[in-house]
Amino acid sequence: MPAQWGAAVLWTCVCIGLAGSAVVVSQETKESMGPRSIKKRSTNSADMVEVHSVKVDCTVTSRFAHTVTTSKALNRANFSQEIFFEVELPKTAFIVNFSMEIDGEVYVGEVKGKEKAKKQYEQAVSSGRTAGLVKASGRTMEKFSVSVNVAAESNVTFVLTYEELLQRKLGQYEILTRLKPKQPVHEFQIVNGYFVHYFAPPDLPRVPKNVAFVIDRSGSMSGTKIAQTRVALVAILKDLHKEDHFALILFDAKITTWKESLTKATNGNVTEAIDYIGKLKDRGVTNINGAVLRAVTMLEKERLKGNLPERSADMIILLTDGMPNSGESNLEKIQENVRSAIGGKMNMFCLGFGNDVDYSFLDVMSRQNKGVARRIFEGSDAAVQLQGFYEEVASPLLLEVDLRYPDQAVGFLTKSHYSQLFNGSEIVVAGRLKDSDVDNFLVEVFALGPEEDFQVQGKASVVNVIYPHQQYIFGDFSERLWAYLTIQQLLENSDIGTQKEKDNVTAKALDLSLRYNFVTPLTSMVVTKPEREDGPDGPLIADKLTEDQRQKAERHSGLPAHGGSSSRGGSRSNFRTSRIRSSSLRSQSDVDGDPHFMIKLPERDAALCFNINDKPGTIFNLVRDPKSGFAVNGQIIGKKKVVQDGNTNTYFGRFGIVHQKLRLRLEVSTQEIFVFHEEKQIKLLWSDTDSVREMNLDFTLTKNCTLTVTLRHSVRFMVIRHTKVWRRRHDQQDYLGFYTLDSHHMSASVHGLLGQFYHGVGFEVTELRPGDVQDKPDATMYVKGQTLNVTRHWQKDFSRVENGEDIPCWYFNNDGAGLVDGRASDYIVSGIFNADF
């Protein structure tokens, strides 16, 4: 078993932003009473790893952070073993280097283009000796993890280096703890032929804003989401300034506005709006296109009428949790409609609530309209997240900010025009100097203030930056910061424009990523591990996850904002696959209704479902475990009255359950229950309330027609008798449902229509799109090596609530083809107790 230890060290770093200052943070942990020992997950006391030290060097120079984590360990065991190294790093950081030193031999990671790395990686995947290095870890972090086989009594040293530009939000910088800067209007630095310009003027009056809140109230927002949205909107409305104007637009299939025009944020209007929001309820489907276009129209009309301040910021804030499935539903068409309508005249911010939303759709739409998208994670703090985002854009200070530099003196500028500067934020521009005469280098900033134009000028000067004595590559921080910014901005535009423009932008970003050794969404770091005792080991891959990939990984793992899956190389339709081994999950496999099979995966908060219909009298094997001798068969019955269209509704009307080792047979029909155990025979009626308890058996029959059976150290299940009544037709139908409550004792060889899913199933869902029926989107699922179309359905689950609860699931057509091994006919058996062990 492997030993695992983490190199997560917290440190405090306070940066006073004086020109030319460099902050070096170094913390090294060593045990004062000898090295720290961490036992392997084993009972062998000699099986230990000694962690000699964990050292973190963080150099922050002009907001650009360079972090080196070094960890040293000794394998004290008298045999070789795997040692794990884990570091959490910000998701905005780029990995630039990784190395392992084992007994004097150094293994260094090499950054390659993703396609080249992919080929090398896929060759190793086929041998089963490789794993991804990076996965999502929470909302803002990524986890880098690697393991290596270390010989007995040998040392290993891991070194991970990553870099990031610290982002200023609400006047603060974040690097694990908060950095609180103090700086002038301009901070301009020139180092080794590259310059960096920081612009964050203090004490400016705010510009009034005109904001249209576009709020999704479709059925998927029900419950906690809609409640948290109400709480957040109340706080946001209270925070509006009196000179602001606002509108409330609610949408499902219909679009409803609080008032027909934007309203000034007087105390009376805000109070009235809060009362209106208090009545917000969920209903219907999702018409994003119509709602956003209504917001654009309202803002345009108010502008034309002169009802808004001339110098004010127009913005749309969209909050949605789902896919557009009413009105225009084509995502690209919606993006084009919105881009054309806005025409660069206003900013659009999109908030994606939860994991069912198509984040990439919102992200592109925001960037096309001078805004940003943000994910709102489902959780108790969702209202706080909504308020936090609003605070970042609540106070614009300047409009149309233009930073200008002498044309003949600079080249390769990063973005130098910004539509807005918000309170507490900062603009950073970097570029390369053409002219060595920096004494006459003039920097100018032009912008629109709330009442008059804003203009400042200043001359740049060379800054003497003092670096630590270590010869880090970080010495050229200004050049690397320029490359970092350029890559980030190129990636932001890599999916906007014509295909030729997208290709050109992507090629430039890839070239810079390789040149400066950054692990970005276009590159991968390939780490070659030392040979194992049983032969060569495969390479490892470190990838940079996009926000869209993080969301999909969370969706697949079923752990929103709390982890992800290792990247396994390769992609399908620009979708990074995140495979989950079936053995890592367990399911609750049930069948009920006419008949509906449902595979619930509690660890992933997901469910799969399919129907199987056949002639009345057909017996299907549902569960078969050769090791324990446990089996469940179900016989189909037909509806009493045949519908005129010729379709025959079928149900399960009889179950035969056998456990050879316990010498048990249980026959359950819609009329009665027979228990055969050893030499005993018991007959029960559904009208009875009874229980049978023996050493290895526990039967409980309740008055609500529920039979619960526990076979100790084997399985626990429930059979429910239903009576469906059609009052208008004076008709009723009795049928049975079978629910697996606990199957973790079943062997790995368990099978059957339900049993094959007892130890879980790995799958991936992507390409969500509108389906043929409103509020039932389609998606593409990768499962059991196949690509299948699935549809969102709702099924009744009676395992916890007497009247049943609606459970969302992904529905497979054609008797579960592609999900179920083989064909449905393969599971037909000749007798109710026939198991063929």
| Backbone φ, ψ for residue 684 (5° rounding) | -125, 145
Which residue, among 292, 298, 210, 206, has the nearest Cα to 246 in the 3D structure?
210
- The CA-atom distances, in angstroms, between 159 and each of 97, 405, 678, 738 are 8, 40, 65, 54
- Tokens 């739409």 belong to residue: 365
For residue 463, what pLDDT is reported?
Answer: 52
Q: What's the token pair of residue 301? A: 């009309």
DSSP three-state, residue 796: strand
Region at 13 (left for phi over 0; alpha for psi -120 to 50; beta for the rest): beta
Give the Cα separation of 832 and 837 in Å (integer): 14
**Cβ pair 457, 444 in contact under 8 A:** yes
What's the chain's length in residues?
Answer: 837
The answer to whether residues 410 and 195 touch, using CB atoms and an 8 Å cutoff, is: yes
pTM: 0.56
- Which amino acid, residue 281? K
If DSSP codes are grouped into helix, strand and coil, which group holds residue 398?
Answer: strand
CA atoms of 386 and 216, how far apart (whole Å): 14
Place of tokens 């900033």: 445
- Beta bridge partners, 667, equal 656, 674
CA distance 795 to 168: 47
Give the single-character DSSP code of 285: -
Give me the pLDDT at residue 23, please: 35
pLDDT reported for residue 99: 87
SS3 percent helix, strand, coil of the chain, rounded to 5, is 20, 40, 40
pLDDT at site 560: 44
Q: What is the Cα–Cα distance from 611 to 607, expressed in whole angstroms?
A: 14
Which amino acid is located at 360 in the chain? S
Query: What are 679-690's pLDDT values in tens digits?
Result: 788 898 998 888
Contact between 434 and 30 (Cβ < 8 Å): no
How many angstroms separate the first and last alpha carbons of the chain?
34
- Radius of gyration of the chain, Cα coordinates, nearest whole angstrom: 31
How far is it, in rounded angstroms, from Cα 564 to Cα 821? Answer: 27
Smallest CA-to-CA distance from 287 within 258, 330, 246 is with 330
DSSP letter for 428, please: E
In tens, the pLDDT along 576-626 reads 223 333 333 467 888 888 778 999 887 666 789 999 988 999 999 999 988
Buried b (16+ CB within 10 A) or exposed e, 206-235: bbbbbbbbbbbbbebbeeebbebbbebbbe
Residue 207: helix, strand or coil by DSSP?
coil
d(CA 200, CA 531): 53
Q: What is the pLDDT of residue 789?
A: 92
Spatial contact of 632 and 623, defined as CB atoms under 8 Å apart = yes
Low-confidence stretches of the chain (pLDDT beneath 50): 1-47, 128-131, 176-184, 464-474, 557-585
Instruction: Give the DSSP H/E element, type plus range, for residue 115.
Output: helix 114-125
Name the pairing type of β-strands 763-773 and 596-601. Answer: unpaired
Identify any residues that bridge with 462 across adjacent strands, giving them in sequence order.
none
Q: Which residues contact 804 (CB under 8 A, 6 or more apart)?
A: 796, 797, 798
Domain annotation for the chain: domains and CATH numbers: 3-171+523-576 (no CATH), 209-394 (3.40.50.410), 583-829 (no CATH)
Q: How does DSSP classify residue 491?
A: H
Distance CA 159, CA 70 (A): 5
Output the pLDDT for position 586: 61
